[in-house]
Amino acid sequence: MSDKQTKAVAEQFPGGELIEAVSIDRLAEILKAAGYRVTVAEQNGALQLMSASQGVGFSVRFGNAVQDAAAATDPAAVRYLDYTHSCVLQVQGELPMELVASWNRTKRFARLADHGPFLALEMDVIVAGGVTERYLRSTIELWDRLIQEFLLHLRNRPVLAEQQTDSRTTATVASAPASAATAPAPAAFVSEGTDSAVRENGTRERALAQ
């Protein structure tokens, strides 16, 4: 989008100028304005924002950077086309298999992934193409709501585990008659093959005796 197009579209929105890429400092200020405490941290050589919602910590990881002259001379001036809200929790005990699948099947906007003893909730935010600051604030509000639903989803672990156990029990009971019906078939096959071999060997022995 050209500068003229950006300006023309921005005039149609009361939320202010369109943001086509966002810097770490600017997003930190938007989070602070929304009432979040924010710190900048470095992990694996990349800067990210650290904050918390509902008493649970989360991070903001930045994705594709805009290549411009300012970014080459000042790392703090780097602007990004997208970023990801990420909340990683370590869960003790066995996780029901349905926990992740049920979230991804019934929830929108954020995906849940199982990484061994860790659960990762992530939501991508795309800035490329032009968005308003009000839009970025609305994604922060959405993320806060998703964390609330995520915590509620985790509290339903016993229910999901019970449903998983019931489904396994039902599957076992349902498959029992089929197993009983098919079990004689291999035995009959083996028995039938053994009788044929015995009859064949007996015929050969009688032929040799003659």
For the chain, what are the domain ranges?
Answer: 3-155, 163-209
3-state secondary structure of 110: coil
pLDDT over 70 (residue 5): no
Higher pLDDT, 208 or 85: 85
Is the dihedral angle over the CA atoms 45, 124, 21, 19 positive or is it negative? negative
pLDDT given for residue 209 in this prediction: 38
Confidence (pTM):
0.68
Distance CA 188, CA 162 (A): 39
- Model confidence at 196: pLDDT above 90: no
User: Could you tell me which of 29, 15, 19 has the C-alpha nearest to residue 60?
Assistant: 29
* Other CB atoms within 10 A of residue 24 CB: 21
pLDDT digits (tens, 9 = 90+) for 155-186: 886 555 455 454 444 444 344 444 443 333 32
Q: What is the assigned CATH class of domain 3-155? A: alpha beta
Does 208 score more than 60 pLDDT? no
User: What digits encode the pLDDT tens for the residues 69-91?
Assistant: 766 677 678 999 999 999 999 98
How many whole angstroms separate alpha carbon 163 and alpha carbon 128?
42
* pLDDT interval class at 4 (50, 70, 90): low
Q: Which two tokens stand for residue 102?
A: 């049920």
- Residue 63 neighbours by CB distance under 10 Å: 14
| pLDDT score at 50 | 98
Tokens standing for residue 103:
């979230």
What digits encode the pLDDT tens for the residues 88-137? 999 887 778 889 999 999 999 999 999 888 999 999 999 999 999 999 99
DSSP for residue 128: T
Q: Is the pLDDT of residue 192 over 50?
A: no
Question: For residue 159, what pLDDT is reported?
Answer: 55
